[in-house]
Amino acid sequence: MKDIWRLSATDLASQIRSRKISAKEAATAALARLDAVNPAINAVVDHRPEETLAQAEAIDTAIAKGEDAGLLAGVPITVKVNVDQAGFATTNGVGLQRDLVAQFNNPVVDNLRKAGAVIVGRTNTPAFSYRWFTTNLLHGETKNPRDPAITPGGSSGGAAAAVTAGIGHIAHGTDIAGSIRYPAYACGVHGLRPTVGRIPAFNASLPERSIGGQITAVSGPLARTVGDLRLALAAMSQRDPRDPWWVPAPLEGPAAPRRAALCLRPGGLETTKEVSAAVADAGKRLERAGWTVEEVTDIPPFEEAAEWQIKLWLADGYDAMVDAAKREGDPGALTVLRGHEKTARSLDFATFSKALTRRATLVRDWQLFFEKYAVIVMPPCGELPFPWQLDLKDDASFARVWRAQMPQIALPFIGMPGLTVSTGLVGRSPVGVQIVAGRYREDLCLSAGEAIEAGGTPPSPIDPISA
């Protein structure tokens, strides 16, 4: 079959299980696509074709024996380079970790493999996964396949660029402040940040994460269809005893009225006309699908949640972060840390306690909000995808970038799932919306996302566009 790499993960898994396509054929097509387009975008920074083909052959053997090959039977995927994959270096885009070879898989990698996924390669991230722009001194720059003049997003920029260009049908990403949702937005695909505890994760190769990371960082999928995100979530979320935060919550919660809140400017965010128009359009798409949509301006605190999240993410262990960044010498990582130094150094024990106390109040307020609405639809960012390296231009540009990202940064602090759905293009720049629901209600995000997706999305996968 021609262009197997164009198929959705859902269709491909079905055809592999029915033996219309072999897993080896799918893997061969994925590797050929990688060879064809990756030199232009540098999304995948480590891969071993012989291991990919061996994984695929094992799937074909299992199917031939009549065994269950899993939800993702033979589907080629990518894994972000900041999680452990046995035999590969967990570099996190950092030369200091180039020899940090994992002995064991991260639970999310084990779950993907148990579901029958075939790993094609490992995707790029900014140094230490700090930025909204994917480049580092070890692996180089990742380009946005739709327009190299704009960022592919970060930190899962390699993941988003890969799946947009047809390298793999699902991409694994991580998100502590928007690192799944923003790359999906910037590249014109979809990305799901699940609730903390939904998908188990643990890097045995690294020291235990600080409490801020433990309670706000997640793994999740990026894909070209919302249906593929649903499939990937089911595969990724199986129990693993290594993650003490894992929660056995059902993937489908109780039925809820299809009622959506629409917020054009969460927390008073300044949004461009193109971004506001995309949110308004998403509301109309939901209404056409039978949803009741109500525009709101009075929502629980969001800007405050973003401020607390930056503290929890960067302040706990700040001096060690700065020391590592200096030794690495990465200008982007140093810019992020220096740009938030005042915030980071304000976190003493009393402030840390206040953050966790305030978090409980904000989570409660949002949970009560979701008693009235199934979801809220808002901008993922106040602007269209940023021009390449905008945050390094000057202090004003740095502040502008982080202010625009407030809707994404806030979400991990309040602990709710978020889904970015790409809805169109403004010239070459993708645009879309962020859908948020209550804790462990990814199913409501996905349901609303499918209704919005039905109104149209950017064409995908695509051949990378040159400058």
Q: Enumerate the active-site residues.
A: 80, 155, 179
Burial of 39 (0-12, 13-18, 19+ CB in 10 A): exposed
DSSP letter for 278, please: H
Distance between CA 245 and CA 286 in Å, rounded?
Answer: 34
Q: One-letter amino acid identity for 311?
A: K
Distance between CA 279 and CA 185 in Å, rounded?
Answer: 13
Residues in the chain: 467
Q: Using DSSP, how many helices (H) and how many strands (E) does the chain show?
A: 17, 13
Distance between CA 155 and CA 133 in Å, rounded?
Answer: 7
Taken in order 233, 160, 178, 448, the sign of the CA dihedral is negative
Strand-strand pairing, 259-262 and 292-295: parallel
Distance between CA 124 and CA 146 in Å, rounded?
Answer: 17
The CA-based angle 368-366-259, given to 5 degrees, is 70
Distance between CA 278 and CA 386 in Å, rounded?
Answer: 17
Contacts of 424 (CB under 8 A, 6+ apart): 278, 281, 430, 431, 432, 456, 457, 458
Contact 69, 106 (CB under 8 A): no
SS3 188: coil
Q: One-letter amino acid identity for 230?
A: R
Taken in order 61, 63, 68, 72, the sign of the CA dihedral is positive
